[in-house]
Structure 1
Amino acid sequence: MKQVNLTITFDEEKLSALKRYMSKKELDLDREMTDALVKLYEKYVPAPVREYIDESDVAASAPARSRRSSKPVTPKPAEEMEVAQ
């Protein structure tokens, strides 16, 4: 799934304090904010819509099948292979 960057405005002094106290508890601000966004997504986006998005994400990440000819490949006989070497 394609990722996007979010930009928000927040008081610089409060952000500095938040980072300082989170680091004392060995917490990551980015991880915590991502977790909060996931909770908001699960709270406000209906389950059927989330399932549809999850299914389309799986389908998009599945490897594409090769578009080769369906003609069977016939191996060369052993004698021809030895002569070719």
Structure 2
Amino acid sequence: MKQVNLTITFDEEKLSALKRYMGKKELDLDREMTDALVKLYEKYVPAPVREYIDESDVNAAAPNKSRRSPKPVTPKPAEEVEASQ
């Protein structure tokens, strides 16, 4: 699934304090923000829509299979192999 970057505005001092105290608890701000977004997604996006998106993601990740079958390799007769050597 294609990822996007989000840009939000937040008070610089508050962000600095948040990072400092999360760091003391060995927590990652990016991970916590991602978890919060996932919870919002699950709360507001109806289940059938989420299932459709998940199925689309799985289908997009599957490798495309070639519609043509490969040509069978026919071995050269022994006389041609010896002549080319």
- TM-score exceeds 0.5: yes
Q: CA deviation at 1:7?
A: 0.7
Q: What whole-Å deviation, never above 9, does each CA across 1:12-54 have from its counterpart, x for those lacking one?
A: 1000000000000111000000000000000111110000000
* Matches of 1:18 and 1:38, distance apart in 2: 20
Q: C-alpha displacement at 1:79, in angstroms?
A: 2.2
What are the ranges of 5 or more consecutive residues in structure 2 without an aligned counterpart? none
Q: What corresponds to 2:45 in structure 1?
A: 45
Pair 1:65-2:54 in alignment: no
Q: Percent identity?
A: 79
Secondary structure at the aligned position of 1:40 is classed as helix
Q: Which residue of the partner structure matches residue 28 of structure 2? A: 28
Letter in 2 for 1:73: P
Q: 2:13 corresponds to which residue? A: 13
User: Which portions of structure 1, spanning 4 or more consecutive aligned residues, are displaced by more than 6 angstroms?
Assistant: none
CA RMSD after TM alignment: 1.9
- Count of aligned pairs between the two proteins: 84
Matched, 1:75 2:74: yes
